[in-house]
Structure 1
């Protein structure tokens, strides 16, 4: 029995006809429903006999969602991504080593003691004062020496400049010779490596230029193949195996947080929509890099806030279903019925997704009508204010007027 490889939509589209012939390829039903392009559908028909469609358990899906919330990738993963990771987890527990799995990501603690910070500031002030005193004394001594030895220092400095220029030219020539020899050796090595196996053809281009690879983990039983960096980040932190596609893999494992552009307050909960300090919807996603030695790096960049479209007229409230209340504060999210309405819309979206099956006879007849209906029916999310875009622009107003018609 070969290895078990769970595929994502991007992995299926990049998979060759003769790749992983000895392995068992698996995917979830929602991945097949995501394929819409004509060329992609033709490729799916060729690979239909090799790919097995399996459904993950609800318990594994719930665990993956909980784990992604702790890493900060929950808001950037779709329901299909959760199912692919959950299927990888279920097969890993059956056929691979369970000891590799992690129940929680590595804990990160940001400890700042005010006493130590105050002592550091005092020490820095004392060191600066001592350095300024020493610099003043050295300047006075140098001024006295210059007054006594003006002519001699001038002649000696000119001679030193001439000598240093000659020495630098000789050093540059030696370095150029060394670099030239190194380049010749490297070029010879590259020629030997490339032409040792013969000419580059269609058969060996993937092996020479780099194609599908399993990264550092060459021996595995169950692995996931995906091009989504958020999925790769969650997979690696869970302890699951990952198969690279043309080098499209993460270099460092990241944890995510939110940084407010208004007051520069850091929030660990990535599901928040408003800042907990100033209350504005100015939270940006920032990465926390976690290296293998345990060191942590936070990318705190100061992004300039764009104020275009922040001042606009609020429409009057309407009765019934047409009433679309604009969310401008975090307190409005706590009102009763809003989360229930959002869950109802998400269930409706999932039901529409299940009706889309490109390989069923019923779905082939409804493909054109389904595309028009489902194209405008996006995954429901909480919209802050008037949403993305500038509501004062003419293009935005034309789109809204066309939708009403």
Structure 2
């Protein structure tokens, strides 16, 4: 397998301890990926990597482009900031080493061509005289039908013999009743038996083995190294040709892979876990059944309820949008059958979000926290300064701002679970 020239690594590769030196010449990652690794064994593996791991941060302009594409595909809510940075770094390296002529800024819509089982002329002809539509039956149904036909024919033959004693029995037997043995009736016709019956009786077992192979063995239907790829294509298996790729990203996150493929970037498979088709998602309200393409919405723009669910969409042959609802994931009543407590006041209140335009506290940093870091000092370095003092203890630092509503709702659910209210 040819190696990748530049491989961008996600967290899953470090968790699985993949030996990336066997797959790529240069490995890259973002600082957020290293921050997600907290297991002691995984941290020890990072300290003794047998290859050079380059840590880079993507360009903010490229990150903005990736965010715009993720919102259009509907995967923005499923991606974290680290995932978006991984995609942006892949986009940036692809632009530097390959070019951006083949990259897309708009997602490619999924097209579903629905074909009828029968032509339009033959639709509804099952009940018309002169039309016969055979039903598809399995081998068990064929055997059962054959047994019934044999038993019925033998029963009718016995009745005719009982009622017609004076008439001599006919010497000619129909072809359907020649073989009434149930054992032979249950046996299926074997194509090998037909071949043996059609063989020349003059042939003997003592013939040369080479002649036997030339006469009886046929290469049609056998899987050989020359046609294995074509057989896999006919079976619908996804084949990855071993072609050298300059830039690729290795990940197991399906939402991340979907955005990468929508843009036109290469995805490296980790243990064969790679998506086969790209999808576009929208939000659908299961209360009023209205849809919205804005993936950042939390509340329905029509009815205002928090009843939005992500669904996949595609286009049919006429360009009409088709919504694919996943019925295997039923709707849940979690956090909907509980009483709403009285809202708390003050700056540090963590009240539940019940509607979209609900006023939220700004959670600004306290004056004491601002005084700890002097940006104009001589020892201060912008970015990752070893002398910077970060506020991680105050309540305003622990609470999230009002910009990320889903993160705020997650914190609220965590606080209630910590209090012991699990209803």
Partner of 2:275, secondary structure, is coil
Structure 1 window deviating more from structure 2 (308-317 vs 57-66): it is 308-317
Q: Would the aligned equivalents of 1:60 and 1:90 in 2 still touch at CA under 8 Å?
A: yes
Question: Given the superposition, is the C-alpha separation of residues 267 and 164 from structure 1 closer, same or farther in structure 2, using an over 3 Å criterion?
Answer: farther
| Paired position in structure 2 for 1:171 | 189
Task: Report which stretch shifted further, 91-100 or 56-65.
Answer: 91-100
CA–CA separation in structure 1 for the residues paired with 2:65 and 2:408: 32
The offset of 1:285, in angstroms, is 1.7
Q: Give the match for residue 295 of structure 2.
A: 270
Q: C-alpha separation between the residues in 1 aligned to 2:222 and 2:400?
A: 53
Counterpart Cα distance in 2 of 1:385 and 1:93: 36
Q: Give the corresponding residue for 1:53.
A: 55
The Cα of 1:311 is off from its aligned counterpart by: 3.3
SS in 2 for 1:320: coil
Does the 8 Å contact 1:4/1:223 carry over to 2? yes
Alpha-carbon contact 1:252-1:289 (below 8 Å) kept: no
Q: Name the structure 1 match of 2:344.
A: 318
For residues 256 and 175 of structure 1, the distance between their equivalents in structure 2, rounded to whole angstroms, comes to: 54
Q: Which residue of structure 2 aligns with residue 400 of structure 1?
A: 419
In 2 relative to 1, CA 239–308 (structure 1 residues): closer, same or farther, beyond 3 Å?
closer
- Residues 51-87 of structure 1 show CA distances to partners (whole Å, capped at 9, x for unaligned) of 0111111000000000000011101111111111111
Larger radius of gyration: 2
Q: CA deviation at 1:289?
A: 5.9
How far is 1:324 from its partner?
3.2
In structure 2, distance between residues paired with 1:288 and 1:298? 5
Deviations 1:179-198 (A, max 9, x none): xx99xx979x79xx9xxxxx
Q: Are 2:348 and 1:327 equivalent residues in the alignment?
A: no
- The count of residues paired between Structure 1 and Structure 2 equals 314
Larger relative helix fraction:
1
Does structure 1 residue 235 correspond to structure 2 residue 260?
Answer: yes
Using the TM superposition, give the Cα deviation of residue 388 of structure 1 relative to its aligned residue in structure 2, in angstroms: 9.7
Q: CA RMSD in A?
A: 5.3
| TM-score normalised by structure 1 residue count | 0.60
Deviation at 1:317, TM superposition (A): 2.7
Q: 1:102 aligns with which of 93, 99, 104?
A: 104
- The unaligned stretches of length 5 or more in structure 1 are 111-122, 139-150, 194-213, 349-359
Write out per-residue CA displacement over residues 82-135 of structure 1, whole angstroms, 9 at most, x where no aligned residue. Answer: 11111111111111132221121124699xxxxxxxxxxxx9xxx87x987x58
TM-score norm. by structure 2 comes to: 0.57
